[in-house]
Amino acid sequence: MTEASPAPTAPPSRGFWRETWHRFRSERLAFAALCFIAAMGVAAVLAPFVAGTRPIVCSYKGRVYFPFLEYYFEGGQSGVFLQDGFLDSFPANLKKKDPSSWAVFPLLYVDPFRRVDADEREGQARDPSRGPPTLRNLLGTDDRGYDVLALVLYGSRTALLVGLLSMTIAAAIGVILGALAGYFGGIADLAISRAIELALSIPTIVLILALRSVIAQPNLFHLVAVIGLTRWETIARYTRAEFLRLREQDFVLAARALGSPWHRIIFRHILPNALAPVIVTLTFGIAQAILLESALSFLGFSAAGADASWGKTLSNWQSNRECWWLAVFPGLAIFLSVLAYNLIADGFQQATDPRQRN
Amino acid sequence: MLSYVVRRALIGCVTLFLASFVVYGLVRAIPGDPTAFEAGGEGGARLSEEQLAELRKTYGLDRHWTVAYASWLGNLLTGDLGTSFRMRRPVATLILEAAGPTLLLSVTSLLLAYCISIPLGLHAAYRFGKADERLSAAVVYLLYSLPSYVVAIYLLLLFGVKLRWLPLSRMYGPNYDDLTTHQKLWDLAAHLVLPVTCYTYGAVAYYTRFLRANLSEVVRQDFIRTARAKGLGEGAILVRHALRSSLVPFVTMVGLSLPALFSGSVILERIFSWPGMGRLFFDAFLYRDYPLVMGLTLTFSLLVVAGTLIADVLCAAVDPRISYD
């Protein structure tokens, strides 16, 4: 599988991953989905540049500050602003307390963690609560007066983090257990297969609710760990099946004859060849993890802390049923990201399917 | 065959035992205990220390959880699932009462999903690659990626809040008891529409996608060419020959999709205030009602294990190539 059969256009045959990338790119929908996810990732990382009420860079009393960093690392704004009683409201205070100051603000003056008050900027009205979409609050506001666009944008940070991190945990557990079971067989296989069966027999939501509740004040990383700890079974099953298939092949026998230790055979020889179906499962898993996080937040089992999350905004709709924008936009964000990850997974599967290679 | 079924059933029992052990430990490890809800109870009556201790003793909270688990297991073997802390009624009765509404939802939607997805899958195989088939495949793909609770919220928003055509939640209207039988059925049906839609569309999309992929592979095989060569019509080939061989993996997949159905029921029943097992589980969990949580987890796990077992056995019964000795 590592060697693709020679393609007529390129005399030396391409490697497996280059060939896969080439084939993946020719699947327009899957490639578009990958671009969408990449764009979402960029938007999530750069959210404070798009929507926020803290200057990206400002000069105050002769020094230059970067107050937007607060959106990445919580914990007390830069001492000066706290001392001078800025109370989050930068534009008016900057002008009042240091007329020679200057500042560059994010594209939209809205905030996912607080309500924008009147006269923070000149002629600025107070953000309404339960306000429908307007030019100022493009996607409306929730019952606290927080901007929904900002909530959805910062929610994508949560989704990205949960999706990628929890699946990294799940993949680490699943691949190692699956590899051990498949490679060694015997008692290891028996024990691990039973563990997989056990994990599969408890409905995920039961396990997740229980695990999550054990921690009194779970933060986002606890939630990530809980989701990761409950989503490894499918990955383990696929890895095990691949290892069962591959361990009898000649190249493994050759490696063994050369005296390679078992961990080298597993991770250097077999795993690269078993990776394709595992990555497909993993990508579907990211979509599932995003879904789980928003479902948990929707049910009121969200992580403690102020993090914006699509599920939290959705659950806000439950007590404000007239505000359609509270349901439609976060719901759309969930749908689109799940769709994109599914498309990527399917595209990757097509691209690595040996039966479809020419 | 019989020895295989027996062996699998025994393994299933061990799995169930381990699952209940794990969940019991987890639930007991959750901070806060049911007496907290009792003490701050609805009546507002404050309990004294002695009464609290008495309460904890009746609930077995004074013992180590492994000891409490052993006595729970012992009671289970005599057929006693215990009594709900909160509702003061036998767990088995509560589960049986909630099973009705849940079955009503899941069986209705499962049947509907079959009735819709099999023709759709056949259509997909018949018109594979044509414009109309690709369009329907795209729609199915979109539905497949739509999370059911998002759909539930959208439907509630559209039909419940904006148009006010359908009831928002619960199983019956407020004046249900005064209605005639005919009106009662109508009332129930109106309440069923939205939840059944949410349960069904995902299954339809999943099954149709599956059948489409499977059938399109089957129709390339030799026995289909033979059928075509002897002059059978395309319709007869698909229904009588191709569909038959696709039914084996189809049955397996349906058995394996059971766990998702239960997880889904916890969220959907909560959104629609449907008085079923998912809702019961959610409330039991919220109030740390250990016996009820345990009873429901056991039921869910039992159904999952049984579903997998039945799928495997059916598979072996239908497909002579599979042997389990």
Confidence band, pLDDT 50/70/90 cuts, at residue A36: very high
Topology (CATH) of B91-318: MetI-like fold (1.10.3720)
Q: What is the pLDDT of residue B61?
A: 75
The distance from CA A132 to its chain's CA centroid, rounded to whole angstroms, is 28
Q: Which of A203, A216, A321 sits opposite B259 (nearest CB)?
A: A203
Q: What value, to the nearest 5°, has the Cα angle with vertex B94 and ends B93 and B97?
A: 85
Tens-digit pLDDT profile for residues A113-153: 888 777 777 767 777 778 788 877 888 888 888 888 888 99
> How far is residue B229's CA from residue B232's CA, in Å, rounded to a whole number?
7
Q: What value, to the nearest 5°, has the Cα angle with vertex A44 and ends A41 and A46?
A: 105
> How far is residue B261's CA from residue B103's CA, in Å, rounded to a whole number?
11
> How far is residue A159's CA from residue A220's CA, in Å, rounded to a whole number?
10
Walk along chain B (325 residues) and give the pLDDT tens digit of each residue: 788 888 888 888 888 888 888 888 888 877 766 666 655 544 445 567 777 777 777 777 777 888 888 888 888 888 888 888 777 888 888 988 888 888 888 888 888 988 998 888 888 888 888 888 888 888 888 988 888 888 988 888 888 777 777 776 777 777 777 777 787 788 888 888 888 888 888 888 888 888 888 888 888 888 888 888 888 888 888 888 888 888 777 777 777 776 666 666 788 888 888 888 888 888 888 887 888 888 888 888 888 888 888 877 777 777 777 665 5
Q: What is the pLDDT of residue B42?
A: 46
Q: What SS3 state is found at B24?
A: helix
Contact A317, A297 (CB under 8 A): no
> How far is residue B111's CA from residue A170's CA, in Å, rounded to a whole number?
34
Contacts of A321 in chain B (CB under 8 A): 156-157, 161
Q: What is the pLDDT of residue B73?
A: 86
Dihedral sign from CA coordinates of B149, B150, B153, B158: negative
CA distance A322 to chain B (A): 7
Q: Is A7 exposed, middle or buried (0-12, 13-18, 19+ CB in 10 A)?
A: middle
> How far is residue B191's CA from residue B170's CA, in Å, rounded to a whole number?
7
In DSSP notation, A179-199 reads: HHHHHH-HHHHHHHHHHHHHH
Tens-digit pLDDT profile for residues A138-192: 888 888 888 888 889 988 988 998 999 999 999 999 999 999 999 998 898 889 9
| CB-CB neighbours of A74 under 10 Å | 11
Contact B199, B105 (CB under 8 A): yes
Task: Name the pTM for this structure.
Answer: 0.85
What A279-284 contacts at long range (C-beta under 8 Å, 24+ apart), as own/partner pairs, is A279/A348, A280/A345, A280/A348, A280/A349, A280/A352, A281/A234, A281/A235, A281/A238, A282/A167, A282/A170, A282/A171, A282/A235, A283/A341, A283/A344, A283/A345, A283/A348, A284/A341, A284/A342, A284/A345
- Please check whether residue A200 touches B, CB under 8 A: yes
* CA-wise closest residue to A96 among A85, A108, A104: A85
Confidence band, pLDDT 50/70/90 cuts, at residue A336: very high
CATH code for residues A149-356: 1.10.3720.10
Compute the average pLDDT of residues A50-74: 80
Domain range list for chain B: 91-318
> How far is residue B89's CA from residue A273's CA, in Å, rounded to a whole number?
56
* CA-wise closest residue to B153 among B192, B111, B197, B112: B197
Tens-digit pLDDT profile for residues A74-110: 665 567 777 777 777 777 777 777 778 888 888 888 8
Q: Are strands A102-104 and A63-65 parallel, antiparallel or unpaired?
A: unpaired
Give the mean pLDDT of chain A. 83
Query: Rounded to the nearest 5°, which phi and psi values hold at B174?
Result: -65, -30
Closest-CA residue in chain B for A211? B26
Q: Under an 8 Å CB criterion, which residues of B touch A?
A: 11, 14-16, 18-19, 22-23, 26-27, 29-31, 141-142, 144-147, 149-150, 153-154, 156-157, 161-162, 259, 262-263, 266-267, 270, 281-282, 285, 297, 300-301, 304-305, 308
Contacts of A339 in chain B (CB under 8 A): 142, 145
Domain range list for chain A: 149-356
* CA-wise closest residue to B244 among B206, B210, B218, B208: B218
Q: What SS3 state is found at A103?
A: strand
Work out the percent of chain A whose per-residue pLDDT is above 90. Answer: 19
